Amino acid sequence: MKNDHLKPATIAAQAAGATDTETAGVVPGIHLSTTYLRDADYALMRPDNIYGRDENDSVRQAEEVLRQLEGAAATLLFPTGMAAIAAVFRALPGGARVILQNGIYWGTIKWVRDFCARRGIFLEEVDAADASALAAACRSSADLVWIETPSNPWLKTVDINAAAGLAHKAGAVLVVDATAATPILTRALDHGADIVMHSVSKAINGHADVLGGVLSCRDGASALWKAIATERHDAGAIIGPFEAWLVMRGLRTLPLRVERMCTNAMAIARFLDGHAGVESVLYPGLEGDPGHAIASRQMSGGYGSLMSVVVKGDRARALDVVARLRLFHRATSLGGVESLVEHRHTIEPDTGIPETLLRLSVGIEDAGDLVADLAQALEGAAA
């Protein structure tokens, strides 16, 4: 059922029209079988079901919801976000040239560097939020441009439309990691991206109980997309049916959760901005943020739930603030219903992350309670 004309809230709540046709249940069932019956002549009883690598209705249903939310031609789910990233890069030929945004999720950078070195792929890292730097990198021909917006943990905003123009002029495909935005706030394909990637472990699922990744494309007949689909099938990089079912359960409340998280995040950012105990707040929703104007053009309905806060003082004070928080869980991830705080330098000590930077993932709790928690932590921390 193609409902691309419907609004995201309707697509999500209705699970893109999926129900359980066997029982007439309004909640789609979980289809666990990995193999499928043939008739007495050994013909497939359902031609689209042979074996469970690509062929599972629970996975297809979740992919269809995501496809409609993105306005994509095709969508593929993977067992993790990194598996989705790897599928793109493994589809590149040896000797390819890749332009990669620097200062993005460290797991991406580390894996891409290692992979490109092993495969003889030329890698250039550039501050893609600097339009002139990206333009300079794209003066030479390339195969792939990879950006992340808003970026994690620096919250830099990249103009997707401008990046697409530069990438295409260089002969490259533009891939956008829009995990922090979700398809509710930014439909990257609408802004010129060729492929959009999300870690569905984050806000898309939203309950911190699933690992998954997803790719959606503008052109399902492109050579790169076909190569990615083949890579997923042949390498067995598939998400399980139960995990896909959990993803779809989370998707049904995604617009509501994103709306609440964005409202909460903006309230927190405004409270922290200019606070005596805070050096700076990195959040594109603030009018003074360098990426605010671009984010306002390509994000609709809010600026996301992720922000970074640089507190005044030293590492000890930053950790003291973290220790005093009562509602923010000390944990690594983002996009869940619960608010999290991370001392990013502890996780990523060798990449230039300040020892005083705290990454906040804002959940759906009461905004006043979250602000009060931050206030008491900042005021009580040692100077």
Q: Is 190 a catalytic residue?
A: no
CB 26 within 8 A of CB 32: no
**Angle 14-16-20 (CA atoms, 0-180°, nearest 5)?**
75
d(CA 229, CA 235) in angstroms, rounded, equals 10
Say which of 67, 156, 202, 317 is annotated catalytic. Answer: 202
Q: Is 202 a catalytic residue?
A: yes
Say which of 53, 90, 270, 315 is annotated catalytic. Answer: 53
- Residues 6+ away with beta carbon under 8 Å from 9: 255, 256
- Order of all β-strands in the sheet with 213-217: 74-78, 213-217, 195-199, 173-177, 144-148, 97-101, 122-126
Say which of 57, 143, 159, 177 is annotated catalytic. Answer: 177
Say which of 60, 67, 105, 344 is annotated catalytic. Answer: 105
CA distances from 383 to 12, 312, 330 (A): 47, 8, 21
**What's the alpha-carbon Rg for the chain, to the nearest Å?**
21
Q: Is 257 a catalytic residue?
A: no
CB 196 within 8 A of CB 160: no
HSE value, Cβ hemisphere, 13 Å, CA-based, for 178: 30
Give residue 175's identity as a one-letter amino acid code: V
Tell which phi-psi region holds residue 157, choosing left (phi > 0), alpha (psi between -120 and 50) or beta: beta
Catalytic residues: 53, 105, 177, 202
